[in-house]
Amino acid sequence: MEPVLRAEGLAKSYQMGEVEVRALRGVDLELGAGELVVLLGASGSGKSTLLNILGGLDVPSAGRIVYRGCDLTLARERARTAYRRDHVGFVFQFYNLVPSLTARENVAIVTDLADDPLSPEEALEIVGLSHRLDHFPAQMSGGEQQRVAIARAIAKRPEVLLCDEPTGALDVETGKLVLAAIARVNRELGSTTVVITHNAVIAAMADRVLQLADGRVTADHRNTSKKAPAELAW
């Protein structure tokens, strides 16, 4: 089966003052449709850089990244924006909601751009926030805000859902609720989902676990049995 995303020899280095930082040193990777992948790594392992390149936010210094046969490395800024807009959902550690918009409107800001989106209400229903539609971010807890962010990410029915430390700013119980929402989206919409985290416990909910260290994939294995997020404990 054709993978959704394929990375070939991805390398990324950038200049930090006078030091050249080599964040990725040759990553080869294939992500299949509907896979739930957890990307584990310590800070500085290059996992965020990898995620940014997968999401079309950044371009590699070397190597290729191909989305459904289309080489993103060659794409111009406009095409990468279109790629993000049409195919990618992002969830960030710090939610990045627009404070002046309600939960419903924060989702609508994406559905307004999409071709065949879920309605904002449906998306918020999936993350269990039907009762918070007209609340502003400042009126919601961190977990609720993160779930709005997930609803915003999935409302366009993205092929790829990228989550950067989605539970990083949350307590355990809230974190589990958020992970459950991600798992449900992955199951019901079939989005290829990548969750990056330094919390190894979370790996148990994945179809596949990638280890990243020093800019290289050091391990890649499939879970034979997945745990439900509610069963996780850290």
- Non-local CB neighbours of 168 within 8 Å, separated by 6+ positions: 93, 197
Tell me the closest approach of the beta carbon of residue 50 to other proteins, in angstroms: 12
Q: Which of 60, 137, 215, 229 binds other proteins (CB under 8 A)?
A: 137
Q: Which of 21, 62, 109, 201 binds other proteins (CB under 8 A)?
A: 109
Q: Which of 29, 88, 126, 154 binds other proteins (CB under 8 A)?
A: 88
Tell me the closest approach of the beta carbon of residue 92 to other proteins, in angstroms: 5
Q: How many Å apart are CA 195 and CA 72, to the nearest integer?
A: 21
Give yes or no for residue 136 binding other proteins (CB under 8 A). Answer: yes
Q: Which of 22, 84, 198, 227 binds other proteins (CB under 8 A)?
A: 84
* Binding stretches for other proteins (CB under 8 A): 48, 52, 55, 57-58, 77-78, 81-82, 84-86, 88, 90, 92-96, 98-101, 105, 108-110, 112-113, 134, 136-139, 152, 164, 169
